Structure 1
Amino acid sequence: MLRGMRKASSNWVGKTIMALVMGVLIISFGVWGIADIFRGFGQSTVAKVGHTEISLNEFRQIYTDRLQQIGRQVGRPLTPDQARAFGLDRQVLQQTIAEAALDEEARRLGLGQSDDQIRQLIMNDPNFKGVDGNFDPNRFQAVIRNFGYTEQRYVADQRKVSLRRQITGTIGAGLEPPKAMLEVLTRFQNEQRAIEFVKLDAAQAGTIDAPSPEALAAYFEDHKVQFRAPEFRKIAFVVISPEEIAKWSQVSDEDAKKLFDQRKDRLGTPEKREVHQIVFPNVAEAQAARERLVGGLSFEDLGKERGLSASDVDLGLVTKSSLDPAIADAVFALPVGEISQPIQGRLGTAIVKVDKIEPGVEPNYASMAGEIKREIATERARVKVGELRDKMEDERGAGTSVVDAAQKLGLTAVTIDAVDRSGRAPDGQPVASIPQGLDVVSQAFNSDVGVDNDPISFRGGYVWYDVLAITPSRDRNLDEVRDQVEARWRQDQIAAKLKTKATEMVQKLEQGGKLADEAAAIGAKVETASGFKRDDQPAGVPTNLVAAAFRTAKDGVGQTPVTGGSEVIVFRVTDIVDPALDAASDAVKKLKDSIDRALTDEQVASYVNKLETDIGTSINQAAFAQVTGANQ
């Protein structure tokens, strides 16, 4: 906080704003404090749902976590102003209140979840599995730490989530979308169209004479803003991420082999056997049944006699660990096709037969060495990132520049002499030294020279940056951009001529003309496309042409420009095919699942709204604004 205040006060504008903010806070404490008493709130409560209070600190933690998660997804942090502009503050509040209402209902219903159930839920989460496909405690800790959780907080959160799912899972049970809805949506999604079309390009526009100096000057004046020199900024940044640091890490074969040996039993593929089995209450019955099986009776027929289904008898391909330990040794020692002697198991006496053997695959260090070394290097890098982050923050807190701090810590800082908002250098080319996915440019354009910026989260690490200089945007004169102006003028002239020609063609087609004749008259060729749907992208067919075709009736004609170019397309819809509803098709099943989820979400939303009304919900707008920055 102190660092933030120091940053905010780094220039005269910031000092003025900070003075105003402090004045507003002093006034607001007096006004909002009194209002909270009459509302039944404490200043530390954001909302109350039934008997559950959502504290200011709790909501701040939730809100911060959500914004950081979104920031990681989009590659750059969101400011409080941006979050409010997107409505994220209200969305997070509504979701938090809904979750609190479900928690209240879970308590009222007496629902619970054992520690073992939560443990299994977490251990089965694919996000926490290592290279061997099993739960990896180190990966678990790294993932939840990256999302701002402690283990205790994550387990508590998952317990609540599990109980909420118990409630919401029953709400949508049995919901079925109406057949009419399926038919309409199927028709919309799967309707197919066929078209014939002609592309008009510069060749059909004819000769474009060079503009006179007066015409070019007039065009430049009318479009001057399009040729304005953008603002450029000089920035410096340094990246500290596991990926970057892992590049430096040298993992020895000794270390990698040690980890391989520790996991060897889990990395290989165990032997599997296709097994038939029938369990009898005693050895005598098992022995009698074995004699019949040896005599030619099948396991399936014997199972039917005993009232067993095919799945009760045929265990399929199984591993040794999945069988009754008392039976497993005998099964995995039995040759293919041989019927075993009676085997005493935990549930009775079994007769088994092995129909097929799939040998196990022993793990090979040479084939896995690269992956294991990368995992070790990344894990070491995560630790190193934390150490370097703390050192970098100490340097930044002491007022050291990014370049000097990087040099002091043995890191490589990148300096870009000039970049505009779009990430391009003055020559119009993208700046190659910015890593893919790093949005340091937009952050720099939201900052200023001399400001101590917060680091950007990036690929599990951090990026620190400084704005070193600003070159303001300015109007260019015609001599600086003459070639660009003339090229743009020519494009506009071509586009205008093509639009006029396309309009004339459409009029002739509407009067009964043929597209082939019109195309031949202007030296163009007719192309066709058929069998495409609304979301398809046929080869050679621009996206906006697909959209235009689905806005046009059968045998109807139209024109559409090609996005990003000066071409114009004239087209006719030659056929429309309405799909039949095949309830058994995969497409309809997926659509039905999608509608089911939407209906369930709607039911859950209605249920939660009713819960919130019944148990009572109130919001402390002042505390909410304090967390989200609306009162800053």
Structure 2
Amino acid sequence: MLGIIRKITGSKIGLVITFIVLGVIAIAFAAGDMMGITPSSGGMTPTTVATVGGTSIGETALRDGVQQDLQNYRQQQPSLDIVSFVEGGGIEGSLSRLIDGVAFQKFAESQGMRVSKRLVDGQIASIPSLQGPDGKFSPEIYKSVLAQQRLTDAALRADMTREIVARQLIVPTVGASQIPMQVALPYAALLLEKRQGHVGFVPAAAMAAGKAPTDAEIATFYSHETARYTVPERRVIRYAVVMPDRVADAAKPSDAEIAQAYSQQKDRFAAKETRTLKQVIVADRAAADALAKKVASGTAIDAAARAAGLEASTITDVEKQDYAKSASAGAADAAFAAAQGAVVGPVQTPLGFAIARVEKITSVPGKTLAEARDTLVGELTTTKSQEAMADLRDSIDEAIVGGATFAEIAADKKLTGQTTPPLAVTGVDPLDPTSKPDPALSQVVAAGFDAQEGDAPQIVAVGQDGGFAVAALEKIVAAAPRPLAEIHDRVVADFEADRARRAARTIATAIVAKINKGETLAKALGEAGVKLPPAEPLGATRAQLLQNRDGAPPPLALMFAMAEHKAKQLEAPGGRGYFVVVLDKIERADPKGHDDVINAARADLSRQVGAEYAEQFAESVRRHVGVQRNAKAIADVRAALTGQDTQ
């Protein structure tokens, strides 16, 4: 609600909550090594973008932070490129996050707060990707990840310490919000407010076609609209896919291995007997004797149990050793010595005295080596294939850590290297209308866009059967507009559509002016000089406006930002024309008696107030520790990331 009423979107606290409260630690390994954050006693240097309480944040840290934030945002908007991200405020947001992390740490230290090594150890050990097959923290995997991400243990721990401190400071502040009833009432009244009006439409398609544009007009239009014709950044990626069939020969078990596996699992293939038992556990020996006597005399065990206030349970196809574990050795001996239909017990177990009836006896014959061979071959092949793939992957990983190039790895391991065409981050070639993303290469493309030219190859998972690929960025094709000669017809069509859109805007502007001078919408539409569709009614409460999951229709949303008896124009999506919205009437309501609406307003206000508290607290922390920004160094980072010249 307050996102529309109070227009508070885009505040810094969004960054604080996103990167701190919701858990930066979960993505710590991708967060950069923060090697550009260092203690400083000499003030600003040319490469220092900011100082926070005596600690310098260098250009390297800011560049790494921007790159990582870009990758995070690309998870929701895959086509986002570095230029658009920076122009949209990416540098400011990343720098604020870095500053706040250091500022919170400095403030915490001044207040005597400390983060123990054991706490950081626990955070690292709890990261699922660092756990081995046994579910425990693997130092080997940890070292491998550090090497792959070019991180150091000390830098990672320092970054995690800052995040833990910030979270400990921010979370209580966010939650410290209680909104009085009287404060919520005006907002609840806004939710109940109803507005009624009309909307007219001036379609661009209704405009006269006009004469054919000249070459000069097309060239001018193209120069002003280069962003429209810009091909996004593309990347050429070299890769080699390694699938389990690569190790198929090595994964075939020998006769000796099959025989050994059979010998090691002789109990599994030996003849065995399972029994289905219906059992009752009775806490008291005398009561157990009475129940057993009743069952022995012919009463069904279920009925006897219910009469005693108990419930019989069924244990299906249990082996003797398993029943002994859940009951007792004596109970297992008795149950497996009795005939089908017999009642055994009471026999003492850890939970009480067991009375059981043998419902069914199933004899499972044993399997010879020949009979078990197919099962063992399948299992051994899977295990050996996994081990061989892991060994090959480890060998390639060691080569990458040792500085081997993609070409050297492909030659040494006899991999078939392939090269993608220049692909956008979505996995398609923007210049090929038939191009479609290949799901099998999604991780390869992601690796290519995570890397910079000159970076070491990466190993990424491919498919669901243990396959992987070695991927390396070969070339970055910077975003650039397509030449006019290649897209001349498209530019002509866009020019004509834009001319029609501007003509529609002129007519819509004239209609709005007439209405605001007292003319009716219907009359103004009729005097437009072109045939326009009739006006349509609009009406809703603000609560209904906010409940639309897909977002309210733009004309309806505009009506809730207008003065009564006034008109405004609004461009339709896709340049299709212009809406003319007229607000006829505002009906205000008394929220008293609408407890559900009031409570909803209080809850929403509490969340927003908590965020504002956190933002104010963060600002106080920054003032307390002292923050200075170096505008020139920040501009240099901006220029380096966007390829612009700051001179």
TM-score when normalising by structure 1: 0.50
Q: What TM-score, normalized by structure 2, do the two folds share?
A: 0.49
